[in-house]
Amino acid sequence: PIYLINKVAEEIADNNLSNEIDLSTGDEFTILGTNMNRMIQNLRRILQENLEAAEKLAIAAHDMSSMAEEANLSSQEVTSSIDIIAKGTEEQSHHVKQSSMAAQQMASTAQEVAAESQKAASFSTKASERAKAGGEIIENVRGKILNVKETVDSSADIVRRLGVKSQQIGKITDVIRGISRQTNLLALNAAIEAA
């Protein structure tokens, strides 16, 4: 029994857990063999658990490696996205600056237009006032022309009536002349008769 126990112990020392002790002597060697068999079984279980744990660790390590690689790729994508965003922000800032300058130019132009509009409004007001004054002058001249026309028309009527009366006076003068001639003839006849 001691030889068998020693042989199995050497196998255990050489990491061979495939054999167990088979003793049926019914004495202390049987108890020792049973305990060694239990030890071998426990070592097998521990070894199996260690193998399973090592396999799980290997799988976990592989998964972690894959995750690390994915994280690295994601990090690169994030870095690329940040670069793109930075470039876009720079371009946007440039566009905003250009838009701001354009807005300032537009504001300046609007002020100039407003100033010119005020000048135009002032000129328009003055022109309107001058046009109004000119209109009043024209109305005054027109009124005076109408007055002159009325005066001319009245004078023409007076001249016309004077013409009519002149004709009447001419007729009266002719009558008087006729009477005068007749009177002269009568006087002449009377003188002749008296002589």
- Residue pair 61/33 in contact (Cβ under 8 Å)? The answer is no
Q: Is the dihedral of CA 174, 180, 183, 184 positive or negative?
A: negative
Q: Number of folded domains in the chain?
A: 1
Determine, yes or no, domain membership for 125.
no
Tokens 């300032």: give the residue. Answer: 104
Determine, yes or no, domain membership for 143.
no
Query: How confident is residue 81, by pLDDT bands cut at 50, 70 and 90?
Result: confident
Buried b (16+ CB within 10 A) or exposed e, 185-194: eeeeeeeeee
The per-residue pLDDT for range 109-143, each reduced to its tens digit, is 768 867 776 776 676 577 567 657 656 776 775 77
Determine, yes or no, domain membership for 70.
yes
Determine, yes or no, domain membership for 177.
no
Determine, yes or no, domain membership for 97.
no
**What range does the domain containing 37 cover?**
2-92
**Higher per-residue confidence, 18 vs 141:** 18
Q: Is the dihedral of CA 147, 151, 152, 153 positive or negative?
A: positive
pTM: 0.38
Q: For position 123, what pLDDT does the model report?
A: 63
